[in-house]
Structure 1
């Protein structure tokens, strides 16, 4: 009861949105209290869009909006020059931008940011990278501006961090800062608790004053509380969230073990029956966090988002002193002049030097219609040039992650859940329930037969068991295999491709550019004599194409200058040829049927490209193919394990030559259009085959995408196609069997990793149940299990790769 002169104790009112103190004047809305109009506005927006599940994922998940951003804070984003520096891609209907958002901190943040489409209908997609605290947002720039997107993010409490000078030079060192602080506090408290507990360790507890013993026990409580509530908060919060959603996750046993240790220790101190287990609690949290830090560092080192400089060997044609030179894309600098041919990817944001360009941005947007650009316009990276070669002036260095994201575009993802992942999901689902049952049974047993061991046994069981090692066996084995492949110039789109390759039973080969050398082989012209001007026109046309035949003809005409005349039209028709109009001259190159309208019935022992100029058939280029070195040995090895087939857009003239390499019963189909190849792959898959397709990536994009594993074989890394799952340098085709065999070995490594994880849990639990394992030792063993599996997978893969001379 309050007496006269006493102060009235006010109840603290918490903001429903952000959790801040509402102070003396809370704003009320729908029986909820808010600290400011900003938080209330966000709640109203979420409520109107049926997004209040945001508050179910975590209590008070939002950020305080008392310092609401000024209305002009993002006005600079209306400047086109600044906008071009920030966005990944922009067209009239699609714009993609990656914002750094420091306030992403939990699952609620991710959920809300990935549901921006429901807050504004003109935002098409939003994807969060939690580790990098980034949001990749796609929106319609005709309906909502970049400034408005930034303002929307700021309004809901996730203001983007935009620094024009260092936008692509973000320092990732702070990503683990919070974890390191928690480790530091846990380590400090653990060390001091052990210091205060030395008399108990040495058996001197009866020889010093009881008041001192109680004093140090109370100090241990004070030191244990920040360890429990701060350093161990991630485990407590994760377990709480899981239980709120009626899901028992892996952190539940750890959190329960922490609660049991703290509660039992406080009880012992205050009831004066013992000194508690504060050292075990602090040591448990400290070693768990050390293991968590180690795993995070290991994941960073084994990052599956590849750095293009070391992993993604794209090259581009750079113009240096009027001469062309192929250079790696990481060497491109601002104001470099580059040339992009028909079918090639534009690797960097640039200004168009040529008069016009048609660019296919389907790899970026999914929209198939090419976009026409005029000279002087800004061109975003990621598009594919359609038509004659163009020249560009680089204005922005190649983004390290942009081309990787392009390759990992959901357009090309094969949505198949692996058997291993399904197995892990099932095991993880029931693992925690089994562990809780074992802990309960062991606790009951020791409560009856030896109560002194009960708490040690229960906490040790809860802590030592861990399915993490099981879950790590697959990604780290696949990641190590992926790196081995990279050193052998076979570049996989993702570690999941390794597992898909394990199940392949049929291999389909393209011929031209895949089995044959692009630049080697004899080229001979047969027909009417060509004037110098006609040769110059042909040189201009074929130099704009990356088809293997065009490359050979370009080399054949290497002594001929390229015509200065201007294209009016350039069209390369897959499986047929090229049709071009240069000023008033119409030129066609390609198959006999495409150029002449019929099949002459010539029985060449080589491939050929016919030529017509203004409907006058001049003749043809005859090309005798040179097959890749070691092809016969490769086929002999593959035929023992796989069903082999061959599809070719060329005529059947080289069938007899191919039969010298392939078995007589091999299915060989010729004059196959891209659609024919695609349908053939579909038929094989309907028959239950797991198909690997190897093509040059030009006329095979559909088949490569449809196949279970599509590999683009290329000698010219400028002809990259995002539709493939892997890029294999042509000179390494003869190692294909070695690579596939190594995939089989990696499967055994995964199984061995499973066995190690299983044995660890069985042995660890047997010691824990027997009461012979302290919680601190259990905390050390838990991360060691994951570390052992990671080390085993990585070292074993590297060792076996060296033995097989793959690296």
Structure 2
């Protein structure tokens, strides 16, 4: 009977069941409907990625009626506000680039969908939508109608589990069964036993071996055939093509040997090859799963949150110590680390971390507020609903909205090698086969198959992600937390380091504070203390701790102007704190010290003077860094401490003072125009613009729950003196990647030299291939851990060297 393939899903259809639409054949009305949807929404180029990329839509009439229940929907949503809902859906059918493309263009198919992002390894799509224009039920029905039905299970949702794909395990099991039995049945052939009964049943055993090999050939190796076929259809030659070709050639050649009684063939080698190849793939999957686990659960942010105790006192705790029912204090610009209920009368929450939109949302007492929001304005209190999810915070931090677009050299190298590797490998295999076929047929087939197998660049593809994943883990243990692996390569390319002063090279914990001016009454200290309570600026936090504890009063109005100061209204009184320019009542005196000026009810009272304490190891760090990098101190303070810094730091250090936030950004931009690769290190408050503009932005954390979404890394303040080590370690990490590239290519060249000369059997090649992956993984693990054992910058700088530099 004549058959035709469905244009959408590729399934075979009988002519009598064929549906013709737009001169194309479809197997059912569902596939035809999907094609119509794509065509009407100008998305028909979906079919350009791959022939028949879709899935047959399922009949879902009434299946998702339970999504009309608001209580169920709330459990599934991970973010819920008046105009924005976010949900992550598990889509088992995601399998190729066409899937990613269509799922990231859902907004063209349905009004109300704002954005959709695909997580390909986890087969998830994260959909942001407007609840008044569409609903979760409509989105799920849309996905089902175009062949991407999500898997929704409230039981799995509650337990945090989803079905595990065990197909690879099953394939390995079948391949091992076939390989073991064929090896057993082949023993007489191996030892060339010529017993009568062996000769009598030799043909039977050979056909039995042929039969046992079929499950391994058709089922266990099926993934390689599918991948190779799709690769050829898309016009890109991937590494599965030579593997699939090698398996098919061995099967065909072995079958011919049995049919014409030339010998037993290579079924033992073929099934062994399939078994060891799948074993190598399982090892690779486990490796990636290990890296994912390390990243999700060990890269917690080194930030603290203020917890309100039962007696009303406040204490700082690490975010991972927060429990359900705790009462938290959230200051201006502070990140909300967990979902909770607002206790304060009202709040203004910026959800740019979650949505990318920096529009504050007004909330009132009793409303639910979500992790990832940022408090804007006066201090608020909340009650915790769930303990912190580090993986969720990492996900928010890595939001694509805040990613810097950079070229990654190691990926470029891998892509280039992969692009030319397969055509070169196929050419070498064919030329070697033609050469040997004239000499020895058996050797020719062995050489052809061995070349295709031994040169598999799996180790080459694995070296970069495993190296960088291990480096991320090691840096995390050293309290240096990077947004992603790309930052490591960027660190290795930096040539200019720009430091903020206050809260970065100075420590808030040891700053000596004195007061100059009209003595403040108890009432005025109370007003001042409560105004400072809502601020996260390093000087504000230090001054708040310095002033004696006062009765808590919530401001009726609170405003913090970045780089200038604080304006607050408390019990009918107005309080202004900050720079002299902000208060507009006086000018800086000639001493030019770091000061916070105080004005209450329009009357200037005086100023708090900060005698800065610089971080331990600052001099040693800067003298070490000055040998390799251009150093800049970029401060918003006055230049009162210029002479102190000039005496402490290398003379090559550039000192720039009185810089407003926008001027800091412009300064970074000017450096980049000069061809500099700039890393900015700041406190994440006044420096957010500069952090975003720099090639790499690092935020220093010192018990403050604030960092900019634009920062690429968070450094615990206790590790400040180790910055030089981290910079060198990133360079060593890239060196390790390129060394392992060389090791992998050397292995391929040596293996090919044996294969081409006929001295390597296909079975040995199949065993060596996963061993090469293990070798590379072991090498990069040993090297990254070896480099990590270097002492953390304990080198002393004697006075002679320092003054010689100056």
TM range (shorter): over 0.9
Task: Kindly indicate whether the alpha-carbon contact (under 8 Å) linking 2:280 and 2:770 is maintained by their aligned counterparts in 1.
Answer: yes
Tell me, yes or no, if structure 1 residue 633 matches structure 2 residue 624. Answer: no
Deviations, residues 338-379 of structure 1 (Å, cap 9, x unaligned): 111111111122221111111122222222232222222221
Counterpart in the other structure of 1:49? 41
Question: Equivalent of 2:744, from 757, 779, 799?
Answer: 757
Specify the SS of the correspondent of 2:627.
coil
Instruction: Tell me by how many angstroms 1:460 deviates.
Output: 0.2
Question: Equivalent of 2:551, from 549, 552, 561?
Answer: 561
Question: Equivalent of 1:668, from 655, 669, 672?
Answer: 655
Return closer, same or farther for 1:186/1:357 CA change in 2, 3 Å cut-off.
same
Instruction: Tell me by how many angstroms 1:639 deviates.
Output: 0.7
1:179-578 pair list within 5 angstroms: 179-204=168-193, 207-210=196-199, 212-303=201-292, 306-308=295-297, 310-321=299-310, 322-562=312-552, 564=553, 566-578=554-566
Question: After alignment, is 368-377 or 727-736 more displaced?
Answer: 368-377
Tell me, yes or no, if structure 1 residue 101 matches structure 2 residue 84. Answer: no
Specify the SS of the correspondent of 1:521.
strand
Task: Kindly indicate whether the alpha-carbon contact (under 8 Å) linking 1:308 and 1:404 is maintained by their aligned counterparts in 2.
Answer: no
Task: Kindly indicate whether the alpha-carbon contact (under 8 Å) linking 2:19 and 2:28 is maintained by their aligned counterparts in 1.
Answer: no
Deviations, residues 504-552 of structure 1 (Å, cap 9, x unaligned): 1110000000011112211122211222222111111111111111111
Specify the SS of the correspondent of 2:378.
coil
Tell me, yes or no, if structure 1 residue 594 matches structure 2 residue 599. Answer: no
Counterpart in the other structure of 1:692? 679
Deviations, residues 90-140 of structure 1 (Å, cap 9, x unaligned): 334333211122333444433432332332243232222233221111222
Q: Distance in 2 between matches of 1:806 and 1:263?
A: 63
Task: Kindly indicate whether the alpha-carbon contact (under 8 Å) linking 1:88 and 1:402 is maintained by their aligned counterparts in 2.
Answer: no
Instruction: Tell me by how many angstroms 1:56 deviates.
Output: 5.6
1:123-138 pair list within 5 angstroms: 123-138=113-128
Q: Distance in 1 between matches of 2:135 and 2:50?
A: 31
Tell me, yes or no, if structure 1 residue 603 matches structure 2 residue 591. Answer: yes
Q: Distance in 1 between matches of 2:531 and 2:486?
A: 40
Return closer, same or farther for 1:582/1:300 CA change in 2, 3 Å cut-off.
same
Question: After alignment, is 67-76 or 423-432 more displaced?
Answer: 67-76
Task: Kindly indicate whether the alpha-carbon contact (under 8 Å) linking 2:51 and 2:233 is maintained by their aligned counterparts in 1.
Answer: no
Deviations, residues 70-90 of structure 1 (Å, cap 9, x unaligned): 16524335x1x4434322323
Question: Equivalent of 1:73, from 57, 65, 80?
Answer: 65
Return closer, same or farther for 1:169/1:112 CA change in 2, 3 Å cut-off.
farther
Return closer, same or farther for 1:159/1:333 CA change in 2, 3 Å cut-off.
farther
Q: Distance in 2 between matches of 1:58 and 1:423?
A: 26
Task: Kindly indicate whether the alpha-carbon contact (under 8 Å) linking 2:531 and 2:555 is maintained by their aligned counterparts in 1.
Answer: no
Counterpart in the other structure of 2:19? 28
Task: Kindly indicate whether the alpha-carbon contact (under 8 Å) linking 1:20 and 1:35 is maintained by their aligned counterparts in 2.
Answer: yes
Q: Distance in 1 between matches of 2:504 and 2:770?
A: 46
Return closer, same or farther for 1:798/1:288 CA change in 2, 3 Å cut-off.
same
Q: Distance in 2 between matches of 1:33 and 1:575?
A: 66
Q: Distance in 1 between matches of 2:197 and 2:381?
A: 86
Instruction: Tell me by how many angstroms 1:633 deviates.
Output: 0.7
Counterpart in the other structure of 1:164? 154
Task: Kindly indicate whether the alpha-carbon contact (under 8 Å) linking 2:595 and 2:607 is maintained by their aligned counterparts in 1.
Answer: yes
Task: Kindly indicate whether the alpha-carbon contact (under 8 Å) linking 2:481 and 2:713 is maintained by their aligned counterparts in 1.
Answer: yes
Q: TM-score, normalised by structure 2?
A: 0.93
Task: Kindly indicate whether the alpha-carbon contact (under 8 Å) linking 1:318 and 1:325 is maintained by their aligned counterparts in 2.
Answer: yes
Question: After alignment, is 245-254 or 663-672 more displaced?
Answer: 663-672
Instruction: Tell me by how many angstroms 1:226 deviates.
Output: 2.0
Q: Distance in 1 between matches of 2:541 and 2:283?
A: 50
Q: Distance in 1 between matches of 2:194 and 2:331?
A: 83
Q: Distance in 1 between matches of 2:562 and 2:355?
A: 22
Task: Kindly indicate whether the alpha-carbon contact (under 8 Å) linking 1:524 and 1:621 is maintained by their aligned counterparts in 2.
Answer: yes
Return closer, same or farther for 1:84/1:603 CA change in 2, 3 Å cut-off.
farther
Cα RMSD (Å): 2.4
Q: Distance in 2 between matches of 1:541 and 1:370?
A: 22
Tell me, yes or no, if structure 1 residue 620 matches structure 2 residue 607. Answer: yes
Deviations, residues 637-689 of structure 1 (Å, cap 9, x unaligned): 11111110011111111111111222234221111111111111111011011
Return closer, same or farther for 1:38/1:433 CA change in 2, 3 Å cut-off.
closer
Deviations, residues 608-646 of structure 1 (Å, cap 9, x unaligned): 100111111111111111111111111111111111001
Task: Kindly indicate whether the alpha-carbon contact (under 8 Å) linking 2:701 and 2:714 is maintained by their aligned counterparts in 1.
Answer: yes
Instruction: Tell me by how many angstroms 1:193 deviates.
Output: 1.3
Counterpart in the other structure of 1:40? 32
Deviations, residues 566-608 of structure 1 (Å, cap 9, x unaligned): 423211111101111224211110001111344243414x311
Return closer, same or farther for 1:126/1:207 CA change in 2, 3 Å cut-off.
farther
Q: Distance in 2 between matches of 1:361 and 1:447?
A: 68
Task: Kindly indicate whether the alpha-carbon contact (under 8 Å) linking 1:305 and 1:404 is maintained by their aligned counterparts in 2.
Answer: no
Counterpart in the other structure of 1:7? none
Specify the SS of the correspondent of 1:313.
coil
Unaligned runs of 5+ in 1: 1-9
Specify the SS of the correspondent of 1:85.
helix
Counterpart in the other structure of 1:178? 167
Instruction: Tell me by how many angstroms 1:255 deviates.
Output: 1.0
